[in-house]
Amino acid sequence: MAEFNTSVKDHGEISTVYLEGYLDAHTAPNLEETFSKLINNGKYKIVANFKDLAYISSAGLGVFMAFIEKVRENDGDIKLSAMNDKVYNIFDLLGFPLLYEIFKTEDEAIKKFDETK
């Protein structure tokens, strides 16, 4: 079975979700739950850190699409960061850079939130 884990770290009102392992149709519900918890707690400024994500399929990308509107309606965003080339390539093939801000590092993503306060 594929291993996938998330952990969350707060930086003031911004929350970083660290993704680790393999994100596929089996593990996507785990990420959905993480986003649901954040949103239920009024956390709408979210940075996803992909540094330790080895693999993503469209089921994983779908999770980002499922939550983005709710988050933006509440003056928040999901900003993506630290993807390896392979993972970025999948986001790129599906046109995600049109709708999501993608940063090289988590710090840059956090900074962007701070700038747009």
Partner 1 sequence: MKANNKNIKEYQLKVKSRTENLSEIRKFIQKHAKEAGISANVIEDMILAGDEACTNVIKHAYKNQPEGEIVVKVQYSDKTFKITIVDHGFSFNPERIPIPDIRKSYEEKKVGGLGIYLMKKLMDEVKYISIPGKYNQVQLIKNLNSSI
The residue from 66, 101, 108, 112 that contacts partner 1 (CB under 8 A) is: 66
Min dist CB 26 to partner 1, Å, is 4
Cβ nearer to partner 1, comparing 62 with 112: 62
The residue from 9, 37, 51, 86 that contacts partner 1 (CB under 8 A) is: 86
Q: Which residues contact 30 (CB under 8 A, 6 or more apart)?
A: 4, 5, 6
The residue from 11, 36, 96, 108 that contacts partner 1 (CB under 8 A) is: 96
Min dist CB 47 to partner 1, Å, is 20
Q: Which residues contact 22 (CB under 8 A, 6 or more apart)?
A: 2, 3, 4, 54, 55
- Do 21 and 3 form a contact (C-beta atoms < 8 A)? yes
CA atoms of 79 and 21, how far apart (whole Å):
19
Q: Which residues bind partner 1 (CB under 8 A)?
A: 1-2, 22, 24-26, 55, 57-59, 61-62, 65-66, 68-69, 86, 90, 93-96, 98-99
